[in-house]
Amino acid sequence: AGVRAVAQRECGSWEDVVSFLEESGLEAHEPYRIICKPTESAGSDGVTLCKSREDVEAAFKKLNKSTNQLGMWNEEVLVQEFLDGEEFVVDTVSRDGEHTTVACWHYDKRPANGQFNVYYGQHALTVDQAPAQECITYIHKVLNALEIRNGPSHAEVKMCRGEPCLVEVGARCHGAEGAWIDCADFIYGYNQAQVTLDAYINPDAYATVPKLPTTRKGHGALAFMVSYSSGVLKNVNEKYLEEIRGFKSFVAMEIFLKPGQKVSPTVDCFTFVGNMRLTHNDEAVVTADYERVREIESSDDFLIYE
């Protein structure tokens, strides 16, 4: 379809992996970087950055014929070109082949705990903020190529060497258990879940939604809380939780960990401490509160262990 796509192959054997690496020429790139991940999972589960062929082999053997975080059997492993660059999300709802982009998000991903791509949060963009328009235009071409004509889609795209390239797309709503809805409603005035319902059962309401996220009603961020330690949890320090609840931008917070639970350093969406939604009319307030979350989670006494 003439749309830029990542070089990749589903591999069921080590021989398949070697064949792909040699045919693709990806090993000639400097520095050496190859991605291995499950063919079906979520939340960065099992996504491994390999810096040598030995790393690729170790990752393949670990992932192949294993059970992922969703309880699914990894029959094969997806071996991919590494896409360097910032990562963005384009959330769309389609009806009869016409695409309405309801949100564009910029992921805040950073190296942490030995993992190269830990989610710290996400911030909403409007089309006037680069590279939102470029990402949206590209993803509409992807949806057409994949013949996704009706319903929601959640696409992740990286700006790689000056152009957008698809990381993955699912014919579903944005995940994170809907934690982004509060932010989307405050920032855009609507959210993907509601627009999806309207597309199916209330076409008049669907028709009033802007085709692109052009208008910003406020500012906000979804922040994921990251653990840097391990142990058996006694409790999350209440003084910090009370401070967070007092933020000017505070909307809601979920703590996933329970007393007595074994805590691991965060490496994917299954090892978060929790998340929180921040919204305010003043972007500086959201930014300050978001950065304070980063300080709190780094405190030695944030998570108290038995």
Which whole number is the average pLDDT over 72-83?
91
Question: Which helix (H) or strand (E) is 80 found in, with range?
Answer: strand 77-81
Contact 68, 77 (CB under 8 A): no
For 125-169, write each residue's pLDDT tens digit. Answer: 999 999 999 999 999 999 999 999 999 999 999 999 899 999 999
Please report the pLDDT score of residue 121 as a whole number: 98
Which whole number is the average pLDDT over 75-82?
94
Instruction: Using DSSP, state whether 186 is helix, strand or coil.
Output: helix
Which tokens hold the place of 11?
A: 């591999």
Residue 69: pLDDT band with limits 50, 70, 90: confident
Model pTM score: 0.91
Q: How far apart are CA 79 and CA 17, in angstroms?
A: 7
For 266-288, write each residue's pLDDT tens digit. Answer: 999 999 999 999 999 999 999 99
Question: Which helix (H) or strand (E) is 284 found in, with range?
Answer: helix 283-297
